[in-house]
């Protein structure tokens, strides 16, 4: 399998984002089914697992700890702090004392002594980035984490943090229909030697062609409140799928595989972490690293999915205000 580096460690280029096993997209699978999927992920070659304190308000970390503990030395395990569930609500809190409490809980839940990578899930804008990263650097010194990551931050914030302590990875949304990373942060990661971990690389399911508009989604699915999944925007965006589907037909693969292959062609430091609850989709995702796209095919996709052709913001205003990424 194609491999990429995070903090000088080689992992398979396509990892597994574990959020939807416990969180965000409506009714998560049962613990039995989620556990089965994690074990099957190991079987098909996944060795990079990504979770967070927020996911399932702690349930996701506990799930991974229970299932993956026997395989701990074989996998690259990443989690996140700075955003968690408090009294049933999502809270962003980057104060050092909060990050300290979160790492202790994460290590307990994940049944490990050290994490390979620990992200600041969101930059708490009331706390200087240097202060939050400074606390994470002390965790590195103490052997609780091996490397520091950031999520949903701009190139300028990445540079500030990197001066405080080397940042091994930056994670943000990146896909054919979310190209904000190309404004600056993708190149900044390459310059600084940071891995770029792309979450929602399949456009939260949209690029697979299997997700319609918000009205078809179940209660509790966060996409119901996202502008791009509202009916008028979906109608506009679905027209872009024709190019993707035609290319998939030519290559004898799925639209999702073309989308992941496109990402893998955007730089050797790019590692997508698609999430799924479906074993067949898991196998498809892992096989995407075998697909090679020509320069002409890449250009065709770039043109079809140019930012000006995408209808609707990726987040509603309140959520957009919480993040620090550049925007078109």
d(CA 167, CA 137): 10
Helices H, strands E: what count in the chain?
Answer: 12, 12
d(CA 31, CA 63): 7
Q: Which 3 state secondary structure label does DSSP give 138?
A: helix
**Catalytic residue set:** 55
**Paired strand residues for 76:** 48
**Paired strand residues for 178:** 175
d(CA 168, CA 149): 6
Calculate the CA dihedral of residues 26, 263, 187, 311 and round it to 10 degrees. -60
How distant, in Å, are the alpha carbons of 204, 218, 302, 322 from that of 25? 9, 8, 28, 20
CA 31 to chain centre: 22
d(CA 154, CA 84): 21
CB 183 within 8 A of CB 325: no
- Contacts of 23-27 spanning 24+ positions with Cβ under 8 A: 23/54, 23/55, 23/56, 23/57, 23/59, 23/60, 24/55, 24/221, 24/222, 25/221, 25/222, 25/223, 26/217, 26/218, 26/219, 26/220, 26/221, 27/218, 27/220
d(CA 117, CA 50): 9
DSSP 218: P
Nearest to 37 by CA among 26, 22, 58: 22
């Amino acid at each position: 399998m194609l491999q990429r580096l995070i903090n000088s460690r080689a992992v398979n280029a396509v990892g597994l984002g574990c959020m939807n096993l416990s969180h965000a997209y409506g009714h998560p699978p049962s613990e039995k089914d989620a556990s089965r999927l994690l074990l099957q992920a190991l079987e098909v070659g996944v060795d990079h697992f990504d979770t967070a304190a927020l996911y399932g308000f702690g349930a996701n970390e506990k799930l991974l700890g229970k299932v993956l503990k026997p395989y701990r030395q074989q996998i690259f395990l990443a989690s996140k702090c700075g955003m968690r569930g408090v009294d049933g609500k999502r809270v962003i809190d980057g104060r050092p004392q909060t990050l300290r409490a979160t790492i202790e809980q994460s290590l307990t839940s994940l049944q490990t002594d050290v994490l390979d990578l620990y992200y600041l899930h969101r930059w708490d804008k009331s706390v200087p980035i240097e202060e939050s990263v400074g606390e994470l650097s002390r965790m590195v010194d103490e052997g609780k984490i091996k490397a520091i990551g950031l999520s949903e931050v701009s190139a300028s914030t990445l540079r500030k943090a990197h001066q405080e302590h080397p940042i091994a990875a930056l994670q943000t949304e990146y896909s054919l229909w979310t190209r904000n990373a190309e404004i600056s942060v993708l190149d900044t990661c390459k310059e600084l030697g940071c891995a770029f971990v792309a979450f929602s690389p399949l456009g939260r399911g949209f690029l697979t062609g299997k997700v319609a508009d918000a009205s078809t989604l179940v209660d509790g699915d966060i996409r119901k409140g996202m502008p791009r999944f509202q009916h008028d925007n979906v109608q506009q965006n679905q027209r872009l799928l024709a190019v993707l589907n035609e290319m998939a037909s030519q290559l004898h693969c799925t639209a999702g595989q073309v989308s992941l292959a496109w990402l893998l062609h955007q730089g050797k430091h790019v590692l997508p972490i698609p999430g799924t609850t479906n074993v067949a989709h898991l196998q498809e995702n892992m096989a995407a690293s075998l697909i090679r796209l020509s320069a002409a095919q890449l250009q065709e996709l770039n043109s079809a999915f140019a930012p000006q052709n995408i209808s609707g913001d990726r987040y509603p205003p309140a959520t957009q205000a919480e993040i620090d990424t550049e925007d078109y």
